[in-house]
């Protein structure tokens, strides 16, 4: 089969590899219908290895590079292993992709994203940028009838937004500000609206992303290059600031602004992944009793299942966020290179293996 293999930094090859072995107990093999390209894939391409194990195998998967990339995908079951009762050949599913030990302190508390041995398909095990993928059945969610694979593949980034809103303990009617209008930020906007936010404001410097945020239901969009976003948000919230702020840009310079923007006793959820250090005077947090909350990835039965369901019933739209659909053979020039060279006009690229 054809697959996108990470060999080393700046060395990803679409090449022929053996198809997955027959599924073991509790496993299924799927024919991949669609797989999204993530910013993490680009980072592994240009700056890796970041998560991909190179020097020794991952303790959970027993795998190390070279590995098949892709952690946002969906497809159809073609083989079922012993003991699998929830899926049959022909069923369509979307895998949560997170692997965890099930035994550590965090797993026992159902905080699987904090597992000491956390791994993920597409980074520590073979993923979905391939024609076929073998995976544990217990990480997969059934795809509703009528939801196409390329939309179902978007459940992974959407579930990141679902978890961020859940972590922020948003209540119906509250005001929300989202910093960053990329894929995760626009999903945060839609998730907050679906969860009952009173108003949702989006702070984003790129005009095309502001326009899309408005199209997807933002109460107001703010250009931080033209106005002070903190002052603008206070003006839009009767002078107090948003109840909940979701920082989805991942830009180190934005994090202090997002914290400052929240109202007194407000919550700030950091869901973007800044890769550079920043400095911040925490006096403002202490004096105003704000809460700063980290949010990582997603939990299969809480966040991922919700994401699949909301895509299926139309509460959240995936199509406006898809910038292009490409064949696997064009992964580098039309996928990863486009992400790197034309980020302002690119949100999500879907690969059709």
Q: How far apart are CA 162 and CA 166, in angstroms?
A: 6
Q: What is the pLDDT of residue 317?
A: 98
Q: What is the pLDDT of residue 274?
A: 83
Q: What is the pLDDT of residue 148?
A: 97
Q: Confidence class of residue 81 from pLDDT cuts 50, 70 and 90?
A: very high
Q: Flag whether pLDDT at 272 surpasses 90.
A: yes
Q: Flag whether pLDDT at 82 surpasses 90.
A: yes
pLDDT in tens, 119-128: 999 999 999 9
Q: What are phi and psi of 91, to 5 degrees?
A: -70, 150
CA distances, 97 to each of 93, 124, 212, 353 (Å): 12, 10, 29, 18
CA atoms within 13 A on the CB side of 295: 31
Q: What share of the chain has pLDDT > 90, as a percent?
A: 95
Q: Flag whether pLDDT at 275 surpasses 80.
A: no
Provide the pairing of β-strand 244-247 with 267-270.
parallel
Q: Are 240 and 215 in contact (CB under 8 A)?
A: no
Q: Which residues on neighbouring strands pair with residue 247, listed in sequence order?
A: 179, 270
Q: Confidence class of residue 324 from pLDDT cuts 50, 70 and 90?
A: very high
Q: Confidence class of residue 273 from pLDDT cuts 50, 70 and 90?
A: confident
Residue 293 tokens read as 């909350």
Q: How far apart are CA 287 and CA 284, in angstroms?
A: 5
Q: How far apart are CA 253 and CA 51, in angstroms?
A: 24
Mean of per-residue pLDDT scores for the chain: 96
Residues sharing a CB contact under 8 Å with residue 249, sequence separation 6 or more, in sequence order: 179, 180, 182, 185, 272
b/e sequence 279-289, b meaning 16+ C-beta within 10 Å = eeeeeebeeee
CA-angle at 271, arms to 223 and 333, nearest 5°: 75
First to last CA, the chain: 10
What is the mean predicted confidence (pLDDT) over 251-273? 96
Q: What is the pLDDT of residue 189?
A: 98
Structural domains of the chain, ranges and CATH numbers in brackets: 2-154+318-352 (3.90.180.10), 158-294 (3.40.50.720)
Q: Flag whether pLDDT at 216 surpasses 80.
A: yes
Q: Minimal CA–CA distance to 246: which of 156, 158, 179?
A: 179
Provide the pairing of β-strand 140-142 with 92-95.
antiparallel
Q: What are phi and psi of 191, to 5 degrees?
A: -65, -45
Q: Is the pTM of this model over 0.85?
A: yes
Q: Confidence class of residue 270 from pLDDT cuts 50, 70 and 90?
A: very high
């Amino acid at each position: 089969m054809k697959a996108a293999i990470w060999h080393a930094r700046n060395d990803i090859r679409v090449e022929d590899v053996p198809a997955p072995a027959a599924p073991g107990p509790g496993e299924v093999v799927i024919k991949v219908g669609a797989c999204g390209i993530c910013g993490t894939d680009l980072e592994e391409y240009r700056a890796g290895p970041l998560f991909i194990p190179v020097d020794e195998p991952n303790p959970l998967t027993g795998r190390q590079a070279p590995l098949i990339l892709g952690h946002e995908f969906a497809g159809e079951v073609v083989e079922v292993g012993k003991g699998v009762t929830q899926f049959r050949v022909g069923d369509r599913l979307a895998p949560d992709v997170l692997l965890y030990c099930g035994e550590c302190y965090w797993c026992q508390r159902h905080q699987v994203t904090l597992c000491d041995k956390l791994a993920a398909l597409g980074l520590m095990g073979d993923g979905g940028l391939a024609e076929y993928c073998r995976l544990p059945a217990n990480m997969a969610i059934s795809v509703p009838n009528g939801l196409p694979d390329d939309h179902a593949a978007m459940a992974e980034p959407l579930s990141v937004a679902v978890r961020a809103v859940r972590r922020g303990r948003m209540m119906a009617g509250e005001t929300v500000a989202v910093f960053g209008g990329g894929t995760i930020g626009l999903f945060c906007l839609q998730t907050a609206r679906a969860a009952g936010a009173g108003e949702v404001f989006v702070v984003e410097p790129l005009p095309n992303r502001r326009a899309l945020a408005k199209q997807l239901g933002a109460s107001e969009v703010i250009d931080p290059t033209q106005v002070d976003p903190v002052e603008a948000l206070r003006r839009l919230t009767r002078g107090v600031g948003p109840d909940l702020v979701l920082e989805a840009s991942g830009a180190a310079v934005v994090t202090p602004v997002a914290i400052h923007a929240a109202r007194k006793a407000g919550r700030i959820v950091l869901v973007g992944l800044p890769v550079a250090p920043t400095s911040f005077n925490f006096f403002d947090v202490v004096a105003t009793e704000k809460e700063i909350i980290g949010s990582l990835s997603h939990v299969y039965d809480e966040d991922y299942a919700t994401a699949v369901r909301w895509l299926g019933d139309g509460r959240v739209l995936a199509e406006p966020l898809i910038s292009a659909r490409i064949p696997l053979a064009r992964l580098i020039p039309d996928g990863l290179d486009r992400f790197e060279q034309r980020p302002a006009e690119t949100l999500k690229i879907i690969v059709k293996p």
